[in-house]
Chains A and B, each alone.
Chain A
Amino acid sequence: MEGYKELIQKMEDAGYLTSAETAIPVFLALKLNKPILVEGPPGVGKTELAKVLAKVLNTELIRLQCYEGLDEAKALYEWNYHKQLIAIQSSKNNDDKTFVFSEEYLLERPLLKALRAQKKPVLLIDEIDKVDEEFEAFLFELLSDFQVTIPELGTIKARETPLVVLTSNGSRELSDGLKRRAVYLYIDFPEVELETKIILKKVSGICKELAEKVATAVHFLRRELDLYKPPAISETLDWAKTLALLGEERLTKEFIENTIGFVLKNKEDIETFYEKGGANRLLQYITENT
């Protein structure tokens, strides 16, 4: 890949519209062979970014979903104890001495799978902020040297350096050590213009004017109202699809009131919406800004 503009084009071809601000850090991570740490509010396309990169690089996506209590046995490797037991018991009757701590008895988990992949894979470590600090520290060796040490087998180095995408919703501050090892990318909600393009690309049967109005309406909900959970891009798309499905040609008060649940999924947020002028205020904002 020559430059980040080519990457933007390839990502667009794969169905992910993005800006230079997002593409440049991804491009740098690829060129510098470094992991990329993606932060941003839920629903801006952090996980989707990794999926699209796998498509762009025409490679396998290996995903490690993080949660509290995740440990090495579930993330890296585990010995196949049942297989080891059978091997030991079956070798009792003959002289064949089986060494049960060999690769044959190893169960690959996502991290090890990524290191042993034949072709440079995309390793998505999703919601890294959910894991315990100890596990985060354990990842250091993997992220800086792309190798792991298994006591019984030795150090395993990556055949091809994987493109590691770490995502975080910011539920806790990550350690400095982890941040230092990664290129940083903050994805915010898209501006109206970009979101209009996303709607036009993903929703069939919607005209440009209506797409722009939907994007402006969602922009209003996110920026002007103090919401607990701002609408995600996927929710914008669902709302736009509903419009197209119902054959609506414009955003009306009735439509907004009947379908506001597609974009606001919290009782408090719906109350805030009506307190701040409801559909009338929203329509007024759309008229003023499109």
Chain B
Amino acid sequence: MLKNVLFFVDLLRMQGFSISTGEIEDLLKALAMVNPQNKSELKAVFQATLLKSSGLKDSFSEIFDFYFTDDFLRPVPHPGVKRVDKAHRVNQALKQAGIYREIEFSTREKEVLNSLPPEVLQKLYEKIKQFYPNQIVDSFPLLEKTIRGVLKYYQERMVLPEAGVGGRRKDLFTANLKDLSERDYERVEKLIKRYAGRLNARASRRLKETRRKKYLNLRKTIRANLSHGGVLFRLKYREKKKNKPQITLLVDVSASMAIYAKFALSFLFAVARSLKKIELYLFAEDLEALPLKNYNKSLLDLKRLIEDSQQWGRGTNLNQALKSYLNIAKTRRSLRRTLLIFSDGKTVQFAETLGELKKICSQYRDVKFLNPVPAKKWQEDTLLKKLAQEVSMIETNSVEHLQAVFSKILS
């Protein structure tokens, strides 16, 4: 039983579940309290001790049902053995279809293959069977691409939160912004307003200690005077914090990023009253200033506004955009300003871009690179890895992420 539990935990960890040794210890203690032959009792125990997020509930359930058969105590083959078998089986199926070449799967692809539901694997084998090798044109790359595409799809599904889990409101909050349709915009706007409203309220309530006679801080006054026998002769005051942050936002509106841009703008406008100054630029091949008369625009209006810009849908040249920005900002640069760059980092002239970023980071106190690519993928991508080393990069692909970014800026 212990072996089965550990294999299962291993499988969950491969799928991105974070499980500590303490939780395994709890699970083993808990297992002694239920009947291991009853699958539903067993599932409830596993869920109570290993699952810690409603967003992962369906995924957990799927993996549990896939891994545990009705007989819990039946020995389960080690995932490592299965992994080898499945990659091998795909290559065997290729041979049987008359293709005498093999696909070299990466470790991550093998893991995904290993965790695919049987019906998906079956479809994959059928796809290979139906494939007729072409004698004139080499069609193997096409088949290889298809299989890798399937694995990539399932890999992403494992990383990204699935829609429809844990209640509608929560979905919109945590869902990847690229998965939202126009139908959702109205609700997303409400959500943004709600969370931005909270941040505005919090920012307006910020108080700091002061010597000026503003609001009396009674608690601190009494405490400070206890040592003087309780006679209140040292009064303590507090006042509202007035230093609102200044923000410059550079938003990538190239083909791969245009879908995210409107949400970032919408959130920024919603917290505008807590900011001292906003500067806004759209960029793709070059930089373009966006006039600040667009407050109170709906997401659809912002979408149209972005589509009307000269930069919309073009290729990204972050290097050029940063150069143009530095040029514009030369005369009115403020070191206290926070510079936000919202882009996926897929740019031409990457080496030069890194150079410009270094320059900008040395000139500004706070530079944040907001990237919609999930953080888990940064290590797999050489360019993003380098980018993350140069600048403070924050995963930003949901309302939740936007809220966290602006919460830090406004606190």
Contact = CB atoms under 8 A, between A and B. Distances in A.
Q: Do A and B come from one complex?
A: yes
A100 B222 CA distance: 13
Interface stretch (A167-175, A208-216, A254-262): A167-175
A81 interface: yes
Contact of A183 (B49, B166, B167): B49
B166 A170 contact: yes
Given A88-B229, A171-B173, A173-B400, A25 B47 contact: yes
B296 interface: no
Q: Is the interface of B mostly helix, strand, loop or mixed?
A: helix
Given A20-B40, A21-B40, A186-B57, A28 B230 contact: no
B262 to A, nearest CB: 22
A92 B52 contact: no
Contact of A28 (B49, B168, B198): B49
Interface in A72-90: 73, 79, 81-82, 84-86, 88-89
Nearest to A88: B230
A240 B54 CA distance: 30
Interface string A176-202: 100110111110000000000000000
B22 interface: yes
B54 A186 contact: yes
Contact of B170 (A82, A170, A183): A170
A20 B48 CA distance: 12
A179 B49 CA distance: 10
Interface stretch (B28-36, B89-97, B278-286): B28-36
A185 B52 CA distance: 8
Contacts of B48: 24-25, 28-29, 183-185
Given A21-B40, A84-B226, A226-B168, A32 B52 contact: no
Interface in B251-301: none
A31 B174 CA distance: 34
B18 A32 contact: no
Interface stretch (A33-41, A156-164, A244-252, A275-283): A33-41
A25 B27 CA distance: 11
B11 interface: no
Contacts of B47: 21, 25, 184, 186
Contacts of B174: 173
A69 interface: yes
A199 to B, nearest CB: 23
Given A85-B230, A180-B20, A184-B47, A228 B26 contact: no
Interface of A: 3-4, 20-21, 24-25, 27-29, 31-32, 34, 37, 39-41, 68-69, 73, 79, 81-82, 84-86, 88-89, 92, 100, 170-173, 176, 179-180, 182-186, 226-228, 230
28 contacts: A21-B40, A24-B41, A24-B44, A25-B48, A31-B33, A32-B26, A32-B30, A39-B54, A40-B54, A69-B205, A81-B222, A81-B223, A85-B226, A86-B230, A89-B230, A170-B54, A170-B166, A173-B53, A179-B52, A179-B53, A180-B20, A183-B48, A183-B49, A184-B52, A186-B47, A186-B166, A226-B168, A230-B167
